[in-house]
Chains A and B, each alone.
Chain A
Amino acid sequence: MIPPLVAGLVTGILFGVLLQRAEVLRYDRQLGALRLVDMTIFKFMLSAVIVGMVGLHVAFALGWAAPHLKATHLLANLLGGLVFGAGWALLGYCPGTSLGALGEGRWDAAFGIAGGIAGATLYALAYPWVKDHLLPVGALGKVTLPALIGVPSWIAVPLAAIGFGALLAWFERRGL
């Protein structure tokens, strides 16, 4: 058994190398995606999702791994997602890439990381209110979209892979 702290560090280093080599750590690339002029970030993310989605579902089917879903809180997922996006567009790095960006010399990322620590603190202070007022709205538990609408995963996974692939093909045709 690999010690978790060692496994985390090694996995992080490998992930950081891939993010850096694909230029995903750059502000210019992240804003390029949000301005819909440079789809590098989408190409990286959707490729990772297609490979990971197929790999994980094969592993689930063979009993080699267990799913780990985050509980659904529809209002909080939606509202938090929109708030996240607003901050992301201002900072130009996401939480993981802010660390990698600092690693490749982007000093502005340090201010984003400091802001992120402040934001986590504010959320911890707000949590008792959020828990009572926002989290109960649309609390559907740990569920996948295919399970919710009654589509088996052996149909949903290939369909999603084709859909994501078609989106990437469309970006390529548009020269993005």
Chain B
Amino acid sequence: MADRPPRPPMNPYLAGGLAGLLAVASVLLTGKYLGASTTFVRVAGRFVAAFAPDLVAKNPYFAKYGTSPDWQWMFVLGILLGGLGASLATRTFRPQVVPDTWRERFGPAPLPRFVAAFVGGLVMVFGARLAGGCPSGHGLSGVMQLSLSSLVAAGAFFVGGIAVASLLYGRAGKGGGR
């Protein structure tokens, strides 16, 4: 049993189509649209409040969202549990410190990868809150509705991402393995 090979991945069109059905079902059954980045604000508020409760109480942005778990908070936690469960069940759980593509380009040292991940996460969530959402809230939920704000933001996600990826890895579509 331990020797059974990992299950091959699901076709991305099928998985994406099912994700679209899930998004519709969520709206029909509970009125909730998929999204993720607001949860970072709630968690940050809870975290900062442990050290500086006044700062959180007086900040209009933390006040707007509060610090208690809500539908989206549980949704984001669910993504972690779904990723864990699915990877264990299909023998694709793979503890890894430095991703393959990063290792090929920048080497196996963990520290540079951790610094890039932290700085990247910081810049990314700051940008998501400025834009009003992330690839879930804008990219899926907003674009499905053909929302103007979401079409602008989602386009900008990819323009910014493609530009910086080409700085990191060389010209787009050229060189390197997959």
Interface residues of A (CB under 8 A from B): 2, 4-28, 31-32, 34-38, 40-41, 43-53, 55-56, 59, 64-74, 76-92, 94-109, 111-128, 130-131, 134, 140, 142-146, 148, 153, 156-157, 160, 168
Q: Tell which of B69, B136, B138, B157 has the most Cβ of chain A within 10 Å.
A: B157
Instruction: Judge whether A114 and B121 touch: CB under 8 Å.
Output: yes
Q: How many Å from the CB of A171 to the closest CB on chain B?
A: 11
Q: Which 5 A-B pairs have the closest CB atoms?
A: A12-B78, A16-B82, A85-B160, A81-B156, A115-B121
Residues on A with beta carbons closer than 8 Å to the beta carbon of B79: 12-13, 15-16, 19, 96-97, 99-100, 103
A168 to chain B, nearest CB (A): 8
Residue pair B148, A148 in contact (C-beta under 8 Å): yes
| Complex contact B99–A24 (CB within 8 A) | no
B9-57 residues with Cβ-Cβ distance < 8 A to A are 9-24, 26-34, 36-37, 39-41, 43-45, 47-48
- Please tell me which one of the listed residues A11, A34, A40, A111 contacts residue B158 in the complex, with CB atoms under 8 A apart: A34
Which A-chain residue is minimally distant from B40 (CB atoms)? A120
Interface code B85-113, partner A: CB below 8 Å = 1, 0 otherwise?
11100101111111111100000001001
Given known pairs A28-B178, A77-B153, the reply for A108 and B92 (CB within 8 Å) is no
- Residues of A contacting B: mostly: helix
Task: Specify the chain A residue showing the minimal Cβ separation from B64.
Answer: A127
Interface size class of B (residues with CB under 8 A): 35 or more
CB of B170 to closest CB in A, whole Å: 9
Chain B minimum-CB-distance residue to A117: B44
Task: Please determine whether B120 and A88 come into contact, CB atoms closer than 8 angstroms.
Answer: yes
B13, B18, B32, B165: most-surrounded residue (chain A CB, <10 A): B165
Q: Is B178 in contact with A37, judged by CB distance below 8 angstroms?
A: yes
Would you call B16 and A77 a contact (CB within 8 A)?
no
User: Can you name 23 A-B pairs with beta carbons within 8 Å?
Assistant: A4-B30, A7-B32, A7-B71, A18-B22, A28-B101, A47-B17, A47-B19, A84-B127, A84-B153, A84-B160, A87-B126, A90-B124, A95-B37, A95-B134, A96-B79, A111-B118, A112-B124, A115-B117, A116-B124, A116-B125, A117-B44, A134-B130, A145-B146
Q: Are A108 and B113 touching (Cβ within 8 A)? A: yes
When C-beta atoms are compared, the residue in chain B nearest to A127 turns out to be B61
* Among B11, B124, B164: residue with most chain A CB under 10 A: B124
